[in-house]
Amino acid sequence: MVKRVFSGVQPSGVLTIGNYLGAIRNFVKLQHEADCIFCVVDLHALTVPQDPKELHDATLDVARLFVACGIDPERATIFVQSHVAAHAELSWLLECNSYFGELRRMTQFKDKSAKNEVVTAGLFTYPVLMAADILLYQTDQVPVGEDQKQHLELARDIAIRVNSRFGQTFKVPEPYIPPRSAGGRIMSLVNPEEKMSKSSDDPKSYIALLDPPDVVRKKIRSAVTDSGREVKYDEVNKAAISNLLVIYSLCSGQPIEEIEKKYGDSGYGQFKKDLAEIIIETLEPIQKRFEELCKPGVIEEILQRGRDRVEALAAPTLEDFRRKLGLVQR
Ligand code: AMP
Ligand code: TRP
């Protein structure tokens, strides 16, 4: 049996090179070996205040970027979370099998609720909706960045709990998380202690997938570096340079050791100059394809087909769980 892979990306703001290197790049690889479903999780984006027009446009743009990054809609399925009502429905059913205490321990909730003035109930139950996304499709594997590890563990705990209470209902999903040196956690360009995030107020902290070449050059030029002048991978003592090395290595396909040798202790200047050009080369084909996908109707048609396929996949699992819970058949 081919494996089922599921992952989601929020349409909140722009996508960054962190999203690409930590997650989407692996989606592209996995589509050749598994039955892949990739979702634009618009309901998750609603957990914090959104401008309606921006949310609408960002949802279509994330789907376009999936395709522009190399996901082939003939091979993998792409759809919008809110188009399939089963996600919200299963989320409620799972909420009633999740505990306040376990949700309160989620570090992303703690961080986001400390930062945001508005703390919605949705922000609190967000990881249960994510569990619903995954469990609805009997998913084997979930490719995500390191920041989603705790949420995935919760999804597994919920699946195991439901299975032991009601009998085999959901497959228990496995995480697929790259190590840091392979992009699992790309850090901010202004503060290497924080992950690169599209929701940052400082655009200099991230490279967006649609940043034009000049903007990439400027951002890399102003990226913080560490003391000394040696280009060397050392997460503890040289966090900033290590992060730039990971980006360089993943974008160029060259192993980190080779890049270290190439620049040695000749200083950071040339290294950063070359890095900017390598990022620009990586983004160029993505940006070109993105533009073609902006023609009216193109992405909408792909999303419609995706929705039709996943609705049929989701129905039996949801019906089975409803029946096990004692809900009267509809
Ligand atoms: P999000 O933008 O939060 O919906 O994240 C989409 C995917 O990108 C998830 O799998 C995240 O784990 C991953 N991701 C987001 N930011 C980073 C980062 N800085 N480094 C690595 N992966 C990331
Ligand atoms: N919470 C994830 C993030 O912010 C997005 C997400 C929602 C997701 N549902 C998912 C990821 C299901 C993997 C599987 O990155």
Q: How far apart are CA 231 and CA 310, in angstroms?
A: 47
Q: How far apart are CA 202 and CA 284, in angstroms?
A: 23
Output phi, psi for 79, to 5 deg: -155, 170
Centre of ligand 1 from the C-alpha of residue 101, in Å: 25
Question: Residue 28, by phi and psi: left (phi above 0), alpha (psi -120 to 50) or beta?
Answer: alpha
Which pLDDT belongs to residue 124? 98
User: Residue 22: CB within 6 Å of ligand 1?
Assistant: yes
pLDDT digits (tens, 9 = 90+) for 169-185: 999 999 999 999 999 99
Centre of ligand 2 from the C-alpha of residue 189, in Å: 23
Which pLDDT belongs to residue 314? 98
Low-confidence stretches of the chain (pLDDT beneath 70): none
Which pLDDT belongs to residue 256? 97
Ligand 1 pocket: which of 9, 16, 17, 19 to mutate (most atoms within 8 A of CB): 19
Looking at the CA of residue 41, tell me the nearest atom of ligand 1: 4
Q: How far apart are CA 42 and CA 48, in angstroms?
A: 11
Q: Going from the N-terminus, what domains does the chain have, and what CATH number goes with each?
A: 4-182+296-325 (3.40.50.620), 211-291 (1.10.240.10)
* Residues catalogued as catalytic: 112, 195, 198
Ligand 2 pocket: which of 30, 36, 41, 197 to mutate (most atoms within 8 A of CB): 41
Which pLDDT belongs to residue 164? 98
Which pLDDT belongs to residue 58? 97
Give the sheet arrangement for strand 3-9, strand by strand. 77-80, 34-40, 3-9, 141-143, 174-176
Which ligand is located closest to the Cα atom of residue 18? 1
pLDDT digits (tens, 9 = 90+) for 86-123: 999 999 999 999 999 999 999 999 999 998 888 999 99
Centre of ligand 1 from the C-alpha of residue 267, in Å: 31
Q: How far apart are CA 323 and CA 316, in angstroms?
A: 11
Alpha-carbon distances of 7 from 41, 77, 245, 290, rounded to whole Å: 9, 11, 26, 21
Residue 80: strand pairing partners: 40
Alpha-carbon distances of 231 from 252, 265, 278, rounded to whole Å: 16, 6, 17
